[in-house]
Structure 1
Amino acid sequence: MGNKTTLLLLLFVLCHGVATTTMAFHDDEGGDKKSPKSLFLMSNSTRVFKTDAGEMRVLKSHGGRIFYRHMHIGFISMEPKSLFVPQYLDSNLIIFIRRGEAKLGFIYDDELAERRLKTGDLYMIPSGSAFYLVNIGEGQRLHVICSIDPSTSLGLETFQSFYIGGGANSHSVLSGFEPAILETAFNESRTVVEEIFSKELDGPIMFVDDSHAPSLWTKFLQLKKDDKEQQLKKMMQDQEEDEEEKQTSRSWRKLLETVFGKVNEKIENKDTAGSPASYNLYDDKKADFKNAYGWSKALHGGEYPPLSEPDIGVLLVKLSAGSMLAPHVNPISDEYTIVLSGYGELHIGYPNGSRAMKTKIKQGDVFVVPRYFPFCQVASRDGPLEFFGFSTSARKNKPQFLAGAASLLRTLMGPELSAAFGVSEDTLRRAVDAQHEAVILPSAWAAPPENAGKLKMEEEPNAIRSFANDVVMDVF
């Protein structure tokens, strides 16, 4: 009886939450109901920058009180032997290596740390922490999906990069200081500091090998080791700095020394400076649920502590052909999801019981589902559907399933529930108990047909805009 009372209380809380969400949904636009497309689908990407060596696109989070927290989704594509120049952001950044190998260098506790990342690896970079990224895959593009947490941002743009070694505006953040300031800070002549900090650079992502046009960084790489070290000492030396400034200088020196090392040399994670290890979703994480129809993984802060700082969780789900992730509700977080492969359908319901949206989804599509909203995903009959995403809470996710062997309806079964549905308890029990599978269900009858990828959204006149044909989305 106690368990049933607790579940009824939980159901009441969920109903109250979705009712409040519904009111906010209508109030956000002065009483005008938003279209499903503008509410759930993240379809308008912004190109942050593009160079010959790579590019970055960002999907900006929707506004409005309906969402628990806002999050932007970024896509980074880098050519072989390219560098995402040293920088720091005003936002927390979680990177997921979709494809390729990378060397990540960053400042951790005032020391330089470096990590070798491979497909499936996750890493969290706190706001304000200097980092760089190098594509070390032999002849392979590097593709990265990232969450950008705007909770710490300046609020000027989607996010703000502060480039240390040049960037979108072809200048280092240090270029904003007068030559006299830089002369004093680096204890170097004006000629040298102007040569370093006023050069035209190649943008945020640049090549760092001999097969492309020389740049400031490639020219530096061509120097002999002793010449490199001497140049670095000139750049970073300041004999009159106090002890705190010396520590900072040493950190920056280590950052530059590592960047200017051989890009394609083997990285063994030897110099990690005590930094947290990366986490591989494919190798390190066991499925939280698995049956003949698919599996699901949800990574929380208790399993990977770095996620606790930005308070963000991660999910990865794979549905076999024709299967369905049962209708469910997330009571603690929004979900921002990217379709990695395959296609199928996304069904979302409004809190009042009406259908919010039924739409075809395919590789490259991005969508968000607010907490409390019931939804499910269905894989097409001719292939599996895999999707990856971020949730807006690092707490252990406990989705409430509304159908299947592990559903709330089974647990709540009794005269109170049958009365709410207006049927006898026996009738309701037979209907609820008919499904013997839990969480991921066999549903060939409900799966979209083989040409599902060509169909348009039922509730909207326009199809989801996919990035599958964009350069950055060849990650998929």
Structure 2
Amino acid sequence: MAAQCHKTKPTTKPIQMVNRDKEAVAVSATNRIQRCSSKSTERQRLQLHNRYALLTDPCFGAYSSITDLLFGFDEAILQSAFGVPEEIIGLMTNRTQPPLIVHDMLSTPGEANTYTWQLQPRLLKLFAGYVSAAEKKKKEKKTKKAKTFNVFESEPDFQSPNGRTITINRKDLEVLSGSMVGVSMVNLTQASMMGPHWNPWACEISIVLKGSGMVRVLRSSISSTSSSSECKNMRFKVEEGDIFAVPRLHPMAQMSFINESLVFIGFTTSARNNEPQFLAGQRSALRLLDQEVLAASLNVSSVMIEGLLGAQKDAVVLGCPYCAEGELDKLKVETEMKKRDDERKREEEEAKKEEEERRKREEEEEEEKQWPPLPQQPPE
């Protein structure tokens, strides 16, 4: 930024520059610029606040391999999500992962280009968040002109014996127009699960209103190939009053315990309509893909894919007995292993420090032997 000359006295108020057209993480940068006056040169602190897309962030990005999307979850979660026997999930997880680019055996050479152009819109819908015409019509009926919206009295977007969900955005509540905020509430009954899903356009920040449960979050395949420690698979327990956040494009699943329900409200930060994309069930985003393409991606037969996608008759909120308990047991094991690992590292650092101090003392003693001090001269 070039220096400019002003005769007026510079203000001490920080200057804020915010670009709201692009979404991402707010980054604050502090810099000093020089202002010229007729009498003297003064310096003033300038604060820049800019919002822009962090395309190089290792935690952001779509999946390059469908296996990363599926098998980051525990087998018990996948079994409940797809409604298939444990043996089917075991067979799929033990298959050799195919390369990212496979030979096209799905069409004849004359049909290859046509098939590819037909497939591209499906892939765009899969990751950008596709909403059917029927779902849009249902959401339009929920729109209100009032200044308040009672989530407990309103008709839910989805309801089953396993729980209910309701979503409110600027189309549902007029006062949200112009904002980048959406609100949703999820009520999971005992031994239930919000099916594995991801937000295509929004980061989700949730507050637990009632009960306790477990949350499983996966990192993206882009971050899995890097050495970044900031973005990794994780599981954690949440209780009443806890706040937790999940970045966009990170698959997640929330689970309630066998003896307790879980209620939480989430706030999404996005300038676009964010429609969660589910991994399994009747609303599975995988249904947008051709079954033969999906079979090639998972290195299984198309018959197995047909059974995998057709077995689960429920959607969104699924039954998952003892899934939360299983995640809690794994969390305890991971915590204990981390504690032991930290203790081992601490002992190694202490031993290394003691060794360095011992070596330093030996070097000092050796120097004293080789270079004795000069005898003191008697005073005159």
With normalisation by structure 2, the TM-score equals 0.46
Q: Larger C-alpha radius of gyration, 1 or 2?
A: 2
User: Which protein is richer in helix relative to its size?
Assistant: 2
User: Which protein is richer in strand relative to its size?
Assistant: 1
With normalisation by structure 1, the TM-score equals 0.37
